[in-house]
């Protein structure tokens, strides 16, 4: 199975190619949010260096959200355009589950946290038993204090991931009572390679024309329009 994967759901923009059970290449940038300029350039250069023909992919996978509204729109639109151009389906990967996949096989609580602005994070809580994952709390927008209270109630040990760890480092240090580790920087953020692996292991293709981001909460424009 060959899978092209894209992730621009937050500050990181990345592209990866999965082929026959391994990641054969990945590009990742975590410098400013110029995803509309960089994402497809990354994929094109990656495919060129690997001599990988994009139309040999079985599917195009993309992080569907939650995350940055702009980043999600760019990523899903790019993946959708590519999938339609090469006549392939898409696999819509939940952003937080894709991130958690980086710690597949780790028995600790895996807690991705993306900075959602407005004093909130997008976060879920997951646990692995081998390759199988268990979702203890699914992705939602909430305060970091609320998520910390959940973790304190669950007990055990935790691995925290994502740029929410950076944005709310003080709150985490002061309030989290269970043993925890903030993922090191090379494992902390989104990974297109992890999106590809999740897609291969949960292969549920959808027609490209049906693909849409999952925002979880209304955008700023929608809140203004509705008086919120």
Mean pLDDT of each 10-residue bin along the chain, 228 residues long: 96 95 95 84 96 98 96 97 98 98 96 96 96 94 98 98 97 98 97 97 96 81 45
Tell me, yes or no, whether 200 and 214 share the same domain.
Answer: yes
Tell me, yes or no, whether 105 and 170 share the same domain.
Answer: yes
Tell me, yes or no, whether 182 and 73 share the same domain.
Answer: no
Do 97 and 133 contact (CB within 8 A), yes or no? yes
Tell me, yes or no, whether 150 and 160 share the same domain.
Answer: yes
How far, in whole angstroms, is CA 99 from its chain's centroid? 5
Tell me, yes or no, whether 115 and 137 share the same domain.
Answer: yes
Q: What pLDDT does residue 221 have?
A: 43
Q: What pLDDT does residue 219 have?
A: 52
Do 2 and 18 contact (CB within 8 A), yes or no? yes
What is the pTM (predicted TM-score) of this model? 0.92
Tell me, yes or no, whether 91 and 202 share the same domain.
Answer: yes
CA-CA distance, 99 to 95, in Å (whole number)?
6
Do 114 and 215 contact (CB within 8 A), yes or no? no
Contacts 24+ apart (CB under 8 A), 166-170: 166/115, 167/115, 167/121, 168/113, 168/115, 168/121, 168/144
Nearest CA-CA partner of 59 in 26, 29, 93: 93
Residue numbers of the domain that contains 171:
96-188
Q: What pLDDT does residue 130 have?
A: 85
Tell me, yes or no, whether 179 and 197 share the same domain.
Answer: no
Total number of domains in the chain: 2
Tell me, yes or no, whether 120 and 165 share the same domain.
Answer: yes
Tell me, yes or no, whether 41 and 59 share the same domain.
Answer: yes
Tell me, yes or no, whether 208 and 102 share the same domain.
Answer: no
CA-CA distance, 211 to 209, in Å (whole number)?
6
Tell me, yes or no, whether 66 and 102 share the same domain.
Answer: no
Tell me, yes or no, whether 87 and 50 share the same domain.
Answer: yes
- What CATH number corresponds to the domain at position 43? 3.30.420.40
How open is the CA angle 167-196-211, to the nearest 5 degrees? 85
């Amino acid at each position: 199975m060959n899978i092209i994967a894209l992730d621009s759901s937050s500050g990181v923009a990345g592209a990866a190619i999965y082929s026959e059970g391994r990641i054969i290449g990945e590009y990742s940038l975590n410098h400013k949010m110029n995803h509309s300029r960089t994402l497809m350039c990354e994929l094109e250069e990656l495919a060129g260096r690997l001599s990988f023909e994009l139309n040999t992919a079985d599917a195009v996978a993309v992080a569907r959200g939650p995350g940055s509204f702009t980043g999600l729109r760019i990523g899903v639109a790019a993946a959708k355009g590519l999938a339609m151009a090469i006549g392939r389906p898409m696999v819509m990967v939940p952003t937080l589950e894709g991130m958690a996949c980086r710690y597949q096989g780790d028995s600790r609580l895996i807690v991705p946290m993306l900075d959602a602005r407005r004093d909130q994070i997008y976060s879920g809580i997951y646990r692995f038993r081998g390759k199988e994952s268990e979702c203890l709390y699914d992705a939602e927008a909430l305060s970091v204090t609320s998520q910390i209270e959940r973790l304190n109630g669950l007990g055990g040990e935790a691995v925290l991931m994502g740029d929410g760890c950076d944005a709310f480092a003080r709150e985490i240090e002061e309030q989290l009572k269970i043993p925890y580790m903030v993922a090191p920087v090379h494992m902390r953020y989104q990974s297109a390679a992890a999106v590809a692996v999740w897609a291969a292991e949960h292969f549920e293709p959808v027609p490209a024309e049906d693909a849409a981001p999952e925002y979880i909460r209304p955008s700023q424009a929608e809140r203004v329009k509705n008086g919120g």
